[in-house]
Amino acid sequence: MNAVVTENSLRTEGAALPGLRHDWRLAEVEALFELPFMDLMFRAQQVHRAHHAANRIQMSTLLSIKTGGCPEDCGYCPQSIHYDTGVAREDTMPVAAVVDAARRAKEAGATRFCMGAAFRSPKKKDIERVSEMIRGVRELGLETCATLGMLTPEQASELKDAGLDYYNHNVDSSEDYYKKIISTRTYQHRLDTLEAVRNADLKVCSGGIVGMGETRTDRAGMLVTLANLPEHPQSVPINQLVQVKGTPLADGEAEAAAVDSFEFIRTIAVARIVMPASQVRLSAGRQEMSDETQAMAFMAGANSIFYGEKLLTTGNPDVERDRSLLARLKINAETQEQTNARSGCC
Ligand code: SAM
Ligand code: DTB
Ligand code: SF4
């Protein structure tokens, strides 16, 4: 007779797996990338089930509260003033419009609302305005996330006091490769902001981009940086580069450097293994992915997505496509209560 395999029995099996580590060596992580694909997927799925509900995904909606005109020169970004991408510079949105967008996101099923701004670093008035937005969004019962560029320790504390739950600040790649895609700040600047965010007792959302022409060693190096932080980021977004015309990373050379979907899925699986308890988000690039690639990413341990037609300036699958995909896979969208219980929010 076949044994009935329940979610719980699989989770118990996974309990024998190693716990949280902060001493990953590059060679070990590269060795994970080198595993036969099915072995890697199996291992990632075991780790996933030891730490997370097997068939549940958290959904966050993203809104660009201040678009374009950014002084930084991130080679992937359509919002940099250094590149002619057709993204117009806009003023910061009014607070009421942001809270309205958050209300619609909640009605559509999102449990976290992420406010993104094309800042190098926010000014005093920006922190005040964003604090009002945070208070308004939180009153709706949603978790809040912001991504505003570099923060001082004081700014991080102000955002915490306003009720912010998560701060997104990506390391984006390995320290070595970072220098090749951004010249206006350093990797250490990123790590300093992450430290300020941790010290303010905010939850950290930090990940990176795959497909910028980096090597597998760079992808492994990025995951080593994230996993060896004093605490694993509670949320780890893995973005597939969205090539936007006008950015340096959208020329013919970059197209040749794009990774195939198996390598992208490997990156998700390795992130899941080295940061077992974190939420790994299948982030930008989903619009270009087949349903099958997304299902494989969930199998590899991704348990969070951006939900809603738009990311910041580029497209995302529409809600009907996402709802249909989750229904066909019998994956449940995490409820607000489940989101809050996991993160101790609200
Ligand atoms: N300005 C802030 C910063 O850089 O931290 C916040 C907004 S910035 C757009 C947030 C993140 O979006 C970047 O760190 C990068 O990981 C991601 N991103 C930007 N452009 C992208 C693209 N074309 N494809 C994939 N991810 C992208
Ligand atoms: C993250 O890691 N990905 C999101 C969010 N954090 C802020 C942003 C993706 C941006 C994709 C390009 C755009 O829409 O402008
Ligand atoms: Fe500015 Fe952020 Fe875009 Fe870099 S990624 S150009 S900091 S908005």
- pLDDT, tens only, 138-148: 999 999 999 99
Averaged pLDDT score across all residues of the chain: 93
Confidence of residue 15 (pLDDT cuts 50, 70, 90): very low
Other CB atoms closer than 10 Å to residue 47's CB: what's the count?
Answer: 21
- Is 74 an active-site residue? yes
- For the ranges 59-63, 112-116, 206-210, 252-256, the lowest mean pLDDT is seen at 252-256
Please compute the mean of the pLDDT values over residues 216-229 and round it to a whole number.
Answer: 98
Name the band, by pLDDT with cuts 50, 70 and 90, for residue 1: very low
Report residues whose beta carbon is within 6 angstroms of any ligand 3 atom: 70, 72, 74, 77, 79-80, 118, 120, 149
| Mean pLDDT of the region 337-342 | 83
For the ranges 139-153, 216-230, 330-344, the lowest mean pLDDT is seen at 330-344
Q: Is the pLDDT of residue 180 over 90?
A: yes
How far is the C-alpha of 151 from the C-alpha of 133, rounded, in Å?
A: 17
Q: What is the pTM of this model?
A: 0.94
Give the pocket of ligand 2 (CB within 6 Å): 62, 78, 116, 147, 168, 170, 207, 237, 239, 242, 283-284, 311-314
pLDDT over 70 at 39, yes or no: yes
Residue of 163, 157, 255 lying closest to 198 (CA atoms): 157
Pocket flag, ligand 1, residue 118 (CB < 6 Å): yes
DSSP H helical ranges for the chain: 7-14, 26-34, 37-51, 95-108, 124-139, 153-162, 175-181, 187-199, 216-227, 252-257, 261-274, 291-299, 319-329, 336-343
pLDDT band at 132 (very low <50, low <70, confident <90, very high): very high
Is residue 346 flagged as an active site residue? no
- Token pair 């997104």 is found at 168
pLDDT interval class at 11 (50, 70, 90): very low
Mean pLDDT of 308-315: 96
Higher pLDDT, 27 or 256: 27
Query: 252 near 207, Cβ under 8 Å?
Result: no
Distance of CA 157 to the CA centre of its chain: 22
Task: Write down the pLDDT at residue 18.
Answer: 52
Region 236-250: mean pLDDT is: 96
232-248 average pLDDT score: 97
Percent of the chain with pLDDT over 70: 92
Compute the average pLDDT of residues 148-163: 98
Strand partners of residue 268: none
Report the C-alpha gap between 332 and 59 in whole angstroms. Answer: 10
Q: How confident is the model at residue 254 (pLDDT cuts 50, 70, 90)?
A: low
The conformation of residue 248, written as its DSSP 8-state character, comes to G
